Amino acid sequence: MMGQGSPEVVEGGCHCGAVRYRVTIRKRDAVQCNCSICSKKGFVHLIVREPDFELLRGADALTTYTFGTHTAKHHFCKHCGIHSYYRPRSHPDRIDVNVRCLEGVDPSDFHLSAFDGQHWEENVEELRRRQRESQ
Ligand SMILES: [Zn+2]
């Protein structure tokens, strides 16, 4: 099983390179969500604590889309349009990194679990419980 050893530190970001970050992966656990926006983005969620995420550059290249409750802050690069990380509604105090935007990391090396975001209210507590045991 991968991800049981020491934490991995990897870099990632958007397509054009304007947005760049470093993230510490403590466990290769990621989530795929079927909600209206995640399914269209193809986002693979790695939810990390604030100290495990460092934005290296690109704060000025980011713009933010919100909808519904406007709790989630869907950041994306205004130059290339890629959503490489954001602040999720389920964990507003954490950072949600798109595993597809991490360098040298293959999403298929992650344990992927499904989140039924089409029924968000009914399932979010289960997601939060799983996250507490993960990162
Ligand atoms: Zn970009």
- Domain boundaries along the sequence of the chain: 8-133
Distance from residue 105's CA to the centre of ligand 1 (Å):
19
Measured CA to CA, the distance from residue 16 to residue 82 in angstroms comes to 9
Average pLDDT, the chain: 92
Q: For 20-38, what is each residue's pLDDT tens digit?
A: 999 999 999 999 999 999 9
- What pLDDT sits at residue 1? 45
Distance from residue 76's CA to the centre of ligand 1 (Å):
8
Distance from residue 100's CA to the centre of ligand 1 (Å):
14
Please answer whether residues 119 and 53 qualify as being in contact, where contact means their C-beta atoms are separated by less than 8 angstroms. no
Q: What is the CATH number of domain 8-133?
A: 2.170.150.70
Overall pTM > 0.85: yes
Distance from residue 133's CA to the centre of ligand 1 (Å):
33
Largest CA distance in the chain: 39
Distance from residue 38's CA to the centre of ligand 1 (Å):
19
Distance from residue 34's CA to the centre of ligand 1 (Å):
25
Q: What share of the chain is helix, strand, coil (3-state, %, to 5)?
A: 25, 40, 35
Distance from residue 75's CA to the centre of ligand 1 (Å):
11
Give the three-state DSSP class for 48.
strand
Q: Name the least confident of 51-60, 73-82, 114-123.
A: 114-123
Distance from residue 78's CA to the centre of ligand 1 (Å):
7
Residues 31, 37, 40, 42: what is their CA dihedral angle, to the nearest 10 degrees?
A: -20
